[in-house]
């Protein structure tokens, strides 16, 4: 079955949350687990938008927390499919905090997550390919194969010597 490719921009999801007391740790910062929960939702929405099917989280790449988001600040999450493979999709997420009183925005973190599309029987199904338009989308698209190979190696699903995209960086 051949699916019509879709533009990366068409998968964009922007999610906004307010950091409330129940979302924070004892230092008044947004808890990392709460942020990861919100990021997972945003990424799921972006992939469902792209493939028009239910999805499940397959992997989460490294999430580094650059700047804490404080109680009372606003969280902005942008999720966009960076590349689609046969049944899986890589999503690029960016997170910003915003101080609504001082009116400034700051980068909190970014990450990549991978989702798999499911058919009505809960089995993986084909997804449309991505068409990257902007320079940034093209860079994310090109890097996605190397990130995928690294994920597969780390999960034991690929042997390092079979990761041709990664090997090309060093040879």
Q: What pLDDT digit, counting tens, does each position of 125-157 carry? A: 999 999 999 999 999 999 999 999 999 998 898
C-alpha dist (Å) from residue 17 to 35, 84, 91, 133:
10, 28, 20, 29
Strands 74-84 and 13-18: antiparallel
The helix or strand, by DSSP H or E, that contains position 154, with its residue range, turns out to be helix 135-154
Distance CA 25, CA 138 (A): 38
Q: Tell me the backbone φ, ψ of residue 160, rounded to 5 degrees.
A: -55, -35
More confident residue, 163 or 36: 36
| pLDDT for 1 | 64
Q: Which residue ranges make up each domain of the chain?
A: 6-133
Q: How many CB atoms lie within 10 A of CB 145?
A: 16
What fold is seen in the domain 6-133?
A: Thiol Ester Dehydrase; Chain A (3.10.129)
Instruction: Provide the mean pLDDT of the chain.
Output: 95
- Kindly report, residue by residue over 48-75, the tens digit of the pLDDT: 999 999 999 999 988 888 999 999 999 9
The residue with tokens 């650059």 is 66
């Amino acid at each position: 079955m051949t699916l019509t490719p879709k533009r990366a921009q068409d998968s964009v999801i922007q999610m906004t949350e307010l950091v409330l007391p129940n979302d924070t740790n004892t230092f008044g910062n947004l808890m990392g687990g709460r942020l990861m929960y919100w990021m997972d939702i945003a990424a799921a929405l972006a992939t469902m938008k792209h493939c028009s099917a239910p999805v499940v989280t397959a992997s989460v790449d490294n999430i580094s927390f650059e700047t804490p988001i404080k109680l009372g600040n606003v969280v902005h999450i942008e999720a966009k499919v960076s590349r689609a493979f046969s049944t899986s999709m890589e999503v690029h997420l960016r997170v910003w905090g915003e101080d609504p009183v001082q009116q400034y925005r700051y980068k909190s973190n970014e990450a990549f997550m991978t989702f798999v599309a499911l058919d009505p029987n809960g089995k993986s199904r084909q997804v449309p390919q991505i068409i990257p338009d902007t320079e940034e989308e093209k860079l994310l698209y090109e890097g996605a194969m190397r990130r995928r190979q690294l994920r597969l190696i780390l999960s034991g699903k690929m042997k390092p010597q079979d990761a041709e995209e990664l090997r090309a960086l060093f040879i």
